[in-house]
Chain A
Amino acid sequence: MSIQASNIHVTLSGQLILNDINAEFPPGQLIGLIGPNGAGKSTLLRVLAGLQMIQKGHVSINGERLQELQRIDLAKKMTYLAQSTECHWPMSVERVVMLGRHPHVNSQQIGDVDMEAVKQAIKDVDIEHLIGRSVNELSGGERARVMLARALATGSDILLADEPIVSLDPRHQIEVMALLRNQANRGKTVIVVLHELHLAMRYCQHLMLLDNGRKVAEGLTEDVLTESNLKRIYGVNALFGNHQGVPWVLPWSNEKEESI
């Protein structure tokens, strides 16, 4: 399923947060939404998820406008993974993951399909050893993975994730990015907001660069993560390289080239 944003304008507390954003996100791709702090990335993600009020423009999935879809049907097609991993009640890990099945289960009994989806999600995210533990006892990183499992358990075709790896250790950062890329390879549309440019370079196929509410660059990863874009938009000098044919990038210093 593809998701499309047209002429999006969003104003919050008098500030123009998103200014005329147009984008199309095709299926089977892992797309990174990048940009400096305050660029409007999270807001755009929420707009796509149908959680943010838009002053102008609309979002469609496969041509169908979001407003025309029932919340429950939308939930089956698209999953949103928030940045905050809060859970207000000390539920067990597996119960939290099962909540991801809500669009399918709703008022019925939990079925075999649901159990399977939950099992698979838990396995994919590597949290089997956490089953039975209370989710609020876990570390930030562990909890983030539980929430990711919850998102995967829904099994929808579009996954929107807001900084899903920010609290994870390096190994799990890599594993989660690989997992998301894998989901994209299976045909899903996966859109991720992230700051970890080196991982964006490594795993994302497409990138969209935002700055001050505007889209400033869009396209293949290598075409967006250029030295000039990084300097101009992020204000960083980066090192570029190539390992076994795979390009990498490493933000190195800021504009002023301050030495340590």
Chain B
Amino acid sequence: MSNSGHISNQYPLGETQPERIRSHTGLPLSEITLEAIREGRVGPDDLVIHTETLQKQADIAKAAGYRQLADNLRRAAELVNIPNERLLHIYEALRPRRSTYQELISLSEELAVQYDAVENARFIREAAEAYRTNLLLRPEDG
């Protein structure tokens, strides 16, 4: 907490420290230009936010008093490395009566083990319990 003032002063990152921002692939922000695109040096994956940037934004949100937004951004930071299709799949699996209890638990383990997404893993495990209590699971097949 001692450096919370310091964190707030870093906002907006794009204006206070543009040189320190990299995309998901490690490409520095300064190299994401029209010229670089013309020369084919920027791909779609280069236009994705980096985990560390999201964590930093989470710290900034927390320091400014937006606790839950900070937690959301921390969960988001864990999701950066999950491929688009997998991400859409997980969202779909969390919708009402899409998954069995076991499927949600497996998903939770996948997130923890494969992507080190421990907050999301915990969140999905909690959802599995809540869905069980509230009858929101897909009935077990035969």
A binds B: no
B residues whose Cβ falls under 8 Å from a Cβ of A? none
A residues whose Cβ falls under 8 Å from a Cβ of B? none
